[in-house]
Amino acid sequence: MLNIILFGPPGSGKGTHSIKLAEKMQLYHLSTGDIFRSEISNKTLLGIEAKQYIDKGALVPDDLVIKVLLSTLEKQEKAKGFIFDGFPRTLIQAQKLDEELNKKGIPIKLIISLEVNNKEIITRLVKRGLESGRSDDNEEIIKQRLAFYNKQTAPLLEYYSKQNKLYTIHGVGLIEEIFVDICKTINQQK
C-alpha cells in the first residue's frame, strides 16, 4: 500500500502528474476537484452546493469534502494505494485524512510539493481556461484561488514537514523531466 499526496497551488501540475503516477504505479487517483466537476455536470445536490464555492474560487466546506473522501475510500477499498490530488487543502482535512489512514494502518508515505511561481501559474491557468472552458480558470478567479491557497492550504507544508514527509520538487520545465524527479523521490522513500 502506497499513499502519496501531490501538493501545490492550482496550476502547478498536480493533475497531470497524478494521472501519470497513478498509471505507472497502479494507484487510485483521487482528485476532489474532478469529483466535484463530475457531480456538477450530473447536477447532484453535492454538485449544486459545491458549485457555489468553486465558481467564486473559494474552498468547498470541509464537511462536504470529507464526505467525498470517506465515500471514495470506502468504494476503493481494494486499491493498492492512493494519489491524493487537490486534497487535503485545509488543516482539518489533513487531520481527518491522517486519522482515517492511521485507523486502517496505511498512513501517508510522502507528500510531494510542486513549486511553481505565481506568474507561471496565471499564464498556465488562463491558457487552460481558454482551451478547456473551465469556468474557474479566468484571471479574476485564479487570483482568488491563489489567495485561498496561500491562506488555507500552504500552511499544510509545515504540518507535513513536521512529520518528515515533505519533499519539494521544482515544477517548471519539461513535464517528462519533472515526472522523472517525482518518480525518483518516491522510489527513494518506498
- Give least dist CB 106 to ligand AMP, A: 19
Rounded CA separation 175/178 (Å) = 5
- Give least dist CB 60 to ligand AMP, A: 4
- Give least dist CB 93 to ligand AMP, A: 6
The residue with its CB nearest to ligand AMP is 33
Contact 135, 40 (CB under 8 A): no
Planar angle of CA 95, 41, 53, nearest 5 degrees: 45
DSSP 152-178: IITTHHHHHHHTT-EEEEE--S-HHHH
Output the CA torsion 143→148→149→150 (10° steps): 90
Q: CB nearer to ligand AMP: give 60 or 166.
A: 60
- Give least dist CB 160 to ligand AMP, A: 15
Q: CB nearer to ligand AMP: give 67 or 187.
A: 67
Q: Which residues are near ligand AMP by CB under 6 A?
A: 10, 32-33, 36, 53-54, 58-60, 65, 86-89, 93, 136, 145
Contact 133, 41 (CB under 8 A): no
Q: CB nearer to ligand AMP: give 9 or 182.
A: 9
* Residue 144 grid cell: 482568488
Segments of the chain assigned E as strands: 4-7, 28-31, 82-85, 110-115, 166-170
Q: CB nearer to ligand AMP: give 29 or 89.
A: 89
Q: CB nearer to ligand AMP: give 87 or 167.
A: 87
- Give least dist CB 80 to ligand AMP, A: 22
